[in-house]
Amino acid sequence: MRHASPTQASSGRRHQRGKPNRRRRALIISLSLVVVLVVGAAAGLQLFQSRLDSNIERIGDPFAALPSRPAVETPADGTASPINILMLGSDSRISAGDPSQWTYGGQRTDAIMLVHIPADRSGAYLFSIPRDSWVDIPGHNQAKINAAFSWGGPTLMIQTIEQLTDVRIDHMAVTDFDAFKALTDELGGVEITTPKDVYDNGVLVSQAGTHLLTGEQALTYVRERHGLARGDFDRVQRQQNWMRAIMARVQSQGTLGNAGQLLSFLTTVTKSIAVDNEFTLDTMRSLALGMKDVRSANVSFHTVPVKGTGTSSDGQSIVVIDRPAFDALMTAIRDDTVAEYLKANPDTGDTLGNVVS
């Protein structure tokens, strides 16, 4: 049964903007890039390339200082290679885009996602890595994985991920949660189904059912933690659910086929991300040519295999990675056999289903 949101009328205003909020997460990034890739070859986009490209913040070259990297094979016949993108959510995207503003200990990444685009460009696989995962951070011994960005910025974060996964990262992108909220309102809201009422500090935000949520309401939906049975694990799935809802909204509204809506939408998208220097709009367009038939159904969301939570030797609450299952999944990513692996191992980690807690 479909219910009307308490603020559904206000959600229809396409350019509604909420009060600036400093509690930021990074969920928009996966959607931002996937959408840009898919629509990058759309008719007429070339006319606006300069404007859109100038909106995107540049991280520089975070790969240059890496002491060693996982090996990668380039197809000898000139065919496309798989692409792996590290997407991060930080409490301040700007300081990631301008290294001069980054300070030691100043940021931790609240969301970490490895996005795998196969060589045949048939879709995309997004794997969330819990922020409290206990891992080796080069030069710092073991710690929560989200500390890597705080201690060494983009370069140390990439080094940590590559050491953990043995997967070579091709590009990196960073965003914040304010941008995600703005993009939701740009679309006039997103439709999300919840099995339970959603509360914000004891105040009912939306009842159980299907609702068209504003950016602010969706933000409350993904922030809720203490009322969720699995805490951060359920919150990660809510974040993924929001991404999926935005992708579905883009398709259902025909945004990609309307020149005015498309330009407005892409303007919001490109203002939402910071990327490495080599991840240019031309590179995104090249990927788009191979992904023109990709739809939301071809994008799947997962959480990497974990054993659950635990306590570190110094008393921190941590997430313990299931190394045998994790390593097998990473091997599938390296070998570009993710589809086959997930089909043979459907219980690998958490897969986003139709119903989200």
What confidence score (pLDDT) does residue 277 get?
A: 92
Q: Long-range contacts made by residues 46-54, C-beta under 8 angstroms, separation at least 24?
A: 48/263, 48/266, 49/281, 51/267, 52/266, 52/267, 52/270, 52/281, 53/270, 53/280, 53/281
Kindly report the average pLDDT of the chain as a whole number: 79
What is the pTM for the complete model shown?
0.82
Nearest to 300 by CA among 47, 74, 68, 127: 127
Interatomic CA distance for residues 257 and 255, integer angstroms? 5
- Provide the token pair at 2: 């479909």
Q: What DSSP state is assigned to residue 73?
A: P
Over residues 253-304, the pLDDT tens digits come to: 877 677 778 778 888 888 878 889 998 877 877 787 777 777 777 889 999 9
Domains of the chain, earliest start first: 24-188+232-241+255-351 (3.40.630.190)
Interatomic CA distance for residues 166 and 161, integer angstroms? 8
Over residues 135-193, the pLDDT tens digits come to: 999 999 999 999 998 898 899 999 999 999 999 999 998 887 777 788 899 999 999 88
Interatomic CA distance for residues 247 and 273, integer angstroms? 17
What confidence score (pLDDT) does residue 46 get?
A: 58
